[in-house]
Amino acid sequence: MRKSRIDRRGFITTTARGAAAAAVIGPGVLLRGSNQRSPNDTVRIGVIGFGVQGLNDANAALRLPNVQVVAAASCYDGHLERARELLGEEALRTRDYRQILDRKDVDAVIVSAPDHWHTRICLDALAAGKDVYCEKPMTHFLEEGERLLKAVKGRKHPFDPRRVFRWRTYREYGEGLAGDVLVHIITALHYMLNLQAPTVATAVGGRLRWKDDRNVYDTITGGWEYPEGIVTVLGATQNNHYDETGIRILGTKATMVMTFGSYTVYEENDQSNWRYTTNVWPKDLRDEYWTSKGLPLNPDPAAGPPPRPERKMLKQFQPVAADRRRPYHMEHFVDCIRSRQQPVQDVVMGNNAAIAAHMANLAYYNKKTIQFDRAAGKLLTPVSGSTV
C-alpha cells in the first residue's frame, strides 16, 4: 500500500503499466546473453535448480510452442528423477550445472537454485553466451547487484536435509520473506510507477510461530521511501493461510486494487469530515464555514455521520478463465530470446527490486532505518555486515 500525489496523466500511465505488469511480470528477472536467434527457431532451455520453482518454470516453458526443455541440474537425485519423468530419457540430467552451460544446443537457462547461487550461476551462464531467466531475488548480497563479478561466499555446513529442502529458512542461503515474497510485489510497483531503488527502508517482524532451528523470521512488514514522493508498506507472514494477496495504490484522485492477475480502479471521492473539528467553533463562524461546504446548519444528532458516497469504478481488468494459467512471463522470456528485444525485467529492474529486499532485511536484522545512495549505489547506514 502506498500514498502519493499522482496526476491524471500519471495515473493513466500507471493503469497501462498495471495491465502490462499483470501480463509479463513473473517471478524471475531476464538477463540477455550473446545468443542470436531467428524468430522461427526452436528455443532450447536448461533448468538449473530443479526444485519447486524450477519444476513450475519448466512446465510453463513446455506449454509454449517451439520451446523445448532439454536439461536439468540439481544436487538431489529425486529432483533429477522428477526431471526424467517430465522431460524424458533424452534430456540431460546432471549435478553439475556447468555441463548444461557447455552444451551448444542450449540457448537459455532458468536459474532457480537457492538465492546464494544466483550470482555465480548467472555470471557463468552469461559468460557462456546463454540468455538467463533468474528467479528473484537476483542477488544474495546487496553489493552483487552493482558488480555481479564474484560468486557468493559463505559458510558451507555439513550435509543436512533440512538445509537442502528448507534452505529458505536459513539466512546463509536466502533472503527470507522479503526476498521470497515481497520482492515480486516490489518489482510490480517499480514497473508501474517507474521507480528505481528506494532510498530509505525500515522493517519490523519476528520468528513468532516457528520455534525450530531456523534463523529467518516468519513475519515481516517493511516500509520503503522513494524520493519521487512515494511511500510503500508491504507485509508477509507464514502464520496464517488467508490467501488473498493484494496491492492497493492510493492516490489523491483514484485507488487501484490489484492481485497478481487483475486490477480495478476506483474514483477517489471521499469527502473530508469538515464538521468534526469545526463543531466547537462559535455559531456564526460555524454557520459560515458549513454553508461554504454545503453542509446543513442544523444536523440531526441522532442521524449519525452521513453515508459514504458509493465508489465509482473507473476501469477493471479480469483475465478470461482460459488465460488464468497462461505463462505470460515465460512467453515474454522466449519472445526476448527470439527478438533480442529488451526484456521488461532486465538486470536494472532486478537489481533495484533486490536492493529493496536487502534493505528491509538489513533494517530488520540491524534494528535500524537503512538509507541507500542511488548515485553511489551503496548504503549510507553502517550495518553489522552486508549480508541479510
pLDDT per residue over 314-369, tens digit each? 999 988 876 777 888 899 999 999 998 988 888 899 999 999 999 999 999 999 99
Give the least confident one: 89-103, 116-130, 132-146, 372-386: 132-146
Average pLDDT over residues 139-144: 75
Q: What share of the chain is helix, strand, coil (3-state, %, to 5)?
A: 35, 20, 45
Give per-residue pLDDT as tens, 255-281.
999 887 789 999 987 767 788 888 889
Count how many residues are written for the chain.
Answer: 388
Expressed in angstroms, the distance from the first to the final Cα of the chain is 24
DSSP structural state of residue 310:
P
Judged against a pLDDT cut of 80, whether residue 388 lies above it is answered with no
All structural domains of the chain: 1-24+159-270+308-388 (3.30.360.10), 28-135 (3.40.50.720), 274-303 (no CATH)
> Please, which residues have CB within 8 angstroms of residue 276's CB and are 6 or more apart in sequence?
none
pTM for the full predicted model: 0.73
Cis amide leading into 137 (omega within 30)? yes
| pLDDT category of residue 29 using cuts at 50, 70 and 90 | confident
Average pLDDT over the chain reads 85
Judged against a pLDDT cut of 70, whether residue 227 lies above it is answered with yes
State how far the Cα of 55 lies from the Cα of 323, in Å rounded to an integer.
20
State how far the Cα of 2 lies from the Cα of 207, in Å rounded to an integer.
26
Give per-residue pLDDT as tens, 57-88.
999 999 999 999 999 999 999 999 999 999 99
Greatest mean pLDDT among 28-42, 195-209, 276-290: 195-209
Give per-residue pLDDT as tens, 32-59.
666 666 556 899 999 999 999 999 999 9
Q: Using alpha carbons, list the distances in angstroms from residue 354 to 95, 143, 179, 190, 261.
A: 27, 10, 7, 11, 22
